Amino acid sequence: MKIRLTSVFVNDQAEALRFYTEILGFVKKHDVPVGEKDRWLTVVSPDEPGGTELLLEPAGHPAARTYRDTLVKDGIPLAQFAVDDVAGEYERLRGLGVRFTQEPMEMGPVTTAVFDDTCGNLIQIATLSQ
């Protein structure tokens, strides 16, 4: 069994695509129209183009909005992305105007930071010390 796809709910798919590609550095994998205005829109890591896809899913369903908004209100990240250096990525993203809700924090063998993806979610970045 493998994880092939996971998703984040976004307010605006075009804005989410811009943020996730231009700011975070992912690359677009699929962009297929679904219905009148929505798209099957996925991004992947440029380091693993055949790896797990992240679906930028419209947050139109009321349950999705309630779930996502409650997580943000409680300060809980919706997803976690692995990075080689949390402190370095924190500085890079801050330089691009990304707003962090948690600065880099060491917790035993893990260092994490949390940012607002501008699309309605909190995202955690993490590095596992070896």
What tens digit of pLDDT does each residue of 75-112 get? 999 999 999 999 999 999 999 999 999 999 999 999 99
- What per-residue confidence (pLDDT) applies to 129? 81
Model pTM?
0.93
The 5-10 sheet, strands edge to edge: 5-10, 53-58, 38-44, 27-34
* pLDDT higher than 90, residue 36: no
CA distances from residue 127 to 94, 102, 105 in whole angstroms, order as listed: 18, 15, 10
- What per-residue confidence (pLDDT) applies to 100? 98
Q: Which residues contact 104 (CB under 8 A, 6 or more apart)?
A: 86, 87, 90, 111, 112, 113
Q: Count up the domains in the chain and report the number.
A: 1
CATH of residue 16's domain is: 3.10.180.10
Strand partners, 31: 41
Q: Quote the domain boundaries for residue 115.
A: 5-128
Mean pLDDT of 23-29: 98
Q: Mean pLDDT in the chain?
A: 96
* pLDDT higher than 80, residue 68: yes
Q: Which two tokens stand for residue 41?
A: 């829109």
Strands 79-82 and 122-128: parallel
Largest CA distance in the chain: 48
